[in-house]
Structure 1
Amino acid sequence: MNDVSVLFVCLGNICRSPLAEGVFRHIVAQHGLAGRVTTDSAGTGGWHTGEAPDRRSIAVAAQYGIDLSKLKARQINRRDFQSFDLILGMDSSNVANIRRVAPEEARGRVHLFSTLTLGKSFDVPDPYYGDASDFERVYHMISEGCVSLAEMLKSSDMSASGNTSSVR
C-alpha cells in the first residue's frame, strides 16, 4: 500500500494538472518514493474527458525527459475525495470549485498547489491561450513545487490516513 496519494487538479485536465502529474511521478521516482506515492490528475470540468494532454504540455515535458502522451483527461469525481490524501488545485478558482463539490470531511485535504508546496499563495497560470514560453514558465513553477512536495513527503511520516499536518 502506498503511503500517500496526490491528485493535481486544473480546469480541463489538459495543460497544468497532467503536467504536474507527470513531473511529480518523475521526481518521486528520482527521490526513491515511487512505491510510496500514488499520483493522478483531473479537471474541474469534463470538456476534454478522454483527450490527451495539450500538445504543448506534452512537448515541454518531453524536453525534460517526461512522457505525458499516455495520459487522458478526466473530471474530478466523488471517489477522488475518498481516494486521495492531497488534492491540489493549480489556481484559486480550481480550489474554490473543488471545495464546492467536496464532501465536508474532504475539504481539509484540498489545497492551493503553491501554498502547500512552496508556502507562497499564487495561482499557476493557465497557459492554454499562450505560447510555448508560457508552457515553459508553468513547467518551472510546477517542477519547483513538485520537488518541494517530494522533499516534504520524503522527510515526513505521512500515511494514508490523510494526515497532512507534517507537510504544511
Structure 2
Amino acid sequence: MASAHLSIFRGVFFICICILDARGTSGLHGRRRYAVRWINVMNIKKVKILFVCMGNICRSPTAAAVALKRIKNAGLEVDIDSAGTIAYHAGEGPDLRAKEAGQRRGYDFSQMIARQVISEDFVRFDLLLAMDKRNYGDLMSRCPERHKHKVKLLMDYAQQTQLSEVPDPYYGGEQGFEDVLDLVEAAVDGLIAALKTKSV
C-alpha cells in the first residue's frame, strides 16, 4: 500500500511517496521497509500546446481533438487549445466535414469554438504548432522575439514522411479531411514521443 504526504521544507513543497517493499520485513524487529521519494512539485510544469491554422474550423481543431485523445491515452498531462490566424470564423464550431471525419475515428469536437490567436497566447503556451508555412509566417510576424522559439510546424514532429505542411481541406472534398487526419495523427504521435523524452 502507498501513502502520500505533502510537507513544507524551507518554503518549498515536496511530495513524499512511501511505498511498502514487496519483499516483506527486514531487521531484528521485523520492521517493514519503505522506499521514499521526494519530488519537488515546484518543478512540475504542465506543457501547454496551441494548434494553429488560418480559420480555426478545420485543421487546428482536428489537431486539438486528436491530441486530446492520444495524449491522454499516453498518460501525459498537457493543456491543449486551438486558434486561427484570422477572426473570420470566430465563435463558430468546427467545419461539419472535419467534425464528422474526426468523429468516425473516435475524436471529440464538442467543446471547440473558433477563436483568433491573441498576444497572450505567445506568453501562455509552451508550443504554438502551425499547420502550414503561411500560418507559421503569420505567427512569427506577431510573436515577440523572446517567444519565437515556441513557434513550430506541427509536421516537424511527423516521422516517416517528407511532408512539411497539413494542407487546407476547406475547398476540397471529403477525402481531404481524411488526409488531414492521417497527417495529424502521425504528427501527434511524434509529438507524444518528444513530450515523453522532453525534447519538444
TM superposition score normalised by structure 2: 0.74
Question: Contact 1:114–1:120 (CA<8 Å) still a contact in 2?
Answer: no
Of 42, 45, 53 in structure 1, the residue corresponding to residue 86 of structure 2 is 45
Separation (CA, whole Å) in 2 of partners of 1:123 and 1:101: 20
Give the 5 Å matches for 1:4-153: 4-33=47-76, 36-118=77-159, 120=162, 122-153=164-195
- For residues 28-53 of structure 1, give each alpha carbon's deviation from its aligned partner in whole angstroms, at most 9, with x where no partner exists: 111011xx211100000000001000
Separation (CA, whole Å) in 2 of partners of 1:116 and 1:67: 22
Tell me which moved more, 11-20 or 61-70: 61-70
Tell me which moved more, 23-32 or 62-71: 62-71
Deviation at 1:78, TM superposition (A): 0.6
Q: CA RMSD in A?
A: 1.4
Tell me which moved more, 132-141 or 60-69: 60-69
Deviation at 1:148, TM superposition (A): 1.2
Mark the structure with the bigger radius of gyration.
Answer: 2
- Number of positions where the alignment pairs a residue of Structure 1 with one of Structure 2: 156
- For residues 30-88 of structure 1, give each alpha carbon's deviation from its aligned partner in whole angstroms, at most 9, with x where no partner exists: 1011xx21110000000000100000110011011111132000000011001100001
SS of residue in 2 equivalent to 1:76 = coil
Runs of 4+ in structure 1 deviating by more than 2 angstroms, as ranges, are: 116-121
Separation (CA, whole Å) in 1 of partners of 2:146 and 2:163: 23
Deviation at 1:117, TM superposition (A): 4.2
- Structure 1 residue runs of 5 or longer lacking an equivalent are 157-165
Question: Contact 2:157–2:190 (CA<8 Å) still a contact in 1?
Answer: no
Structure with the larger helix share:
1
Aligned residue number for residue 160 of structure 1: none
Question: Contact 2:64–2:80 (CA<8 Å) still a contact in 1?
Answer: yes
Partner amino acid, structure 2, of 1:155: T
Separation (CA, whole Å) in 2 of partners of 1:67 and 1:115: 24
Structure with the larger strand share:
2
